[in-house]
Amino acid sequence: MILSQCIGAFIAAALVYLVYIDIEVSLNNSSIFATYPRAGVTTGQAMVSSIVGTAFMILSINGVVQSKPPHKPDLSLLPIYTGIAVTTYGIAFSLNTGYAINPARDIGPRLFIFLVGFPDSFKRGNDVISWYWWIPIISPLIGAILANFIFDNCIKGDYWIDLECCKGCYRKNEIEDMKDDVKKNTTEL
């Protein structure tokens, strides 16, 4: 699936390039094709920004897609929910690395600009990071795995918050009381 997304992003980058072919394209404005860190961002900052941002976005989408009644929203609105999650990511986390949340969104266009004459597209970073290209590929994958681990182990379940993941925090009878309260409150809705 990631390969097909990379091919699609490569083709999209080619179309954007054709639309703006008359504009002088340099490495300074090649960020319309791929993500690059802002000045002063370290490797660690770029990775954390991308991991946390991707995890937030995946948790948001999982919360909508995998929630159970009575909390389950209308899935025909999923594109709107996803758009809100991506926009929120951009507002909260894109300052350091841009929208480095999908490996295909970065590697496909980066490969295209490399092939049309920007040999430094894989070397360019900022004043601190020189070989940045691998961060928007690896970090979102780590963020997605982390988000799914958190969701599967702490949120997903018969209830909005899965009380089973808190076994070490509460005595067994307290968990049963909380489950009864959740059942009672959800049946009243």
Q: Which domains does the chain have, with CATH numbers?
A: 2-156 (1.20.1080.10), 161-189 (no CATH)
CA 136 to chain CA centroid, Å, is 10
* Whole-structure pTM value: 0.73
pLDDT, tens only, 83-119: 998 998 889 888 888 888 888 888 999 899 889 887 7
Secondary structure of the chain: what % helix, strand, coil (to 5)?
65, 0, 35
Average pLDDT, the chain: 80
What 3-state class would DSSP assign to 181? helix
Tokens representing residue 161 in the block: 């918050």
Phi-psi region of 157 (alpha: psi -120 to 50; beta: other; left: phi over 0): left
pLDDT at 72 over 50: yes
CA 177 to chain CA centroid, Å, is 36
pLDDT, tens only, 31-43: 778 888 888 888 8
Q: For residues 52 and 23, which has the higher predicted lDDT (pLDDT)?
A: 52
Q: Where are the beta strands (DSSP E) in 31-166?
A: none
Q: What confidence score (pLDDT) does residue 128 get? A: 61
pLDDT, tens only, 1-13: 788 999 999 999 9
Cβ pair 163, 178 in contact under 8 A = yes
